[in-house]
Structure 1
Amino acid sequence: MNKQRETDTAIAQHDAPDSARRDLLKMAGSGIAALSVGAAAMGQAHAQSKMQLGTTWDKTFPKSAKVDHKKVTFKNRYGITLAADLYQPQGTGGKLAAIAVGGPFGAVKEQSSGLYAQTMAERGFITLAFDPSYTGESGGEPRNVASPDINTEDFSAAVDFLGLLPNVDRERIGIIGICGWGGMALNAVAVDKRVKAVVASTMYDMTRVMSKGYNDSVTLEQRTQLLEQLSRQRWKDAEKGSPAYQPPYNKLQGGEARFLVDYHDYYATPRGYHPRAVNSLNAWTQTTPLSFMNMPILSYIKEISPRPVLFIHGEKAHSRYFSETAYAAAAEPKELMIIPGASHVDLYDRVNVIPFDKLTSFFKQHLA
Structure 2
Amino acid sequence: MAINVLVVDDSAVVRQVLREVLGEAPDINVYAAVSDPIFAMQKMQQEWPDVIVLDIEMPRMDGLTFLRQLMSERPTPVIICSSLAEKGAELSLQALAAGAIDIFTKPQLGVKDFLLDAKQQFWNSVRGAASARLTKRAAEPQANKKEITHKPVHADLVSMTSTTDRISVIGTSTGGTQALETILVNLSRTCPGIAVVQHMPEKFTAAFAKRLDSVCEVDVKEAETGDRLIPGRVLIAPGGHHLEIQRSGAQYIAKVFRGPAVNRHCPSVDVLFRSAARAAGRNVTGIIMTGMGDDGARGLLEMRQAGARTIAQDEASCIVFGMPKEAINLGAAKEILSLTQIPAVLEG
Same fold (TM over 0.5): no
Normalised TM-score (structure 2): 0.33
Normalised TM-score (structure 1): 0.31
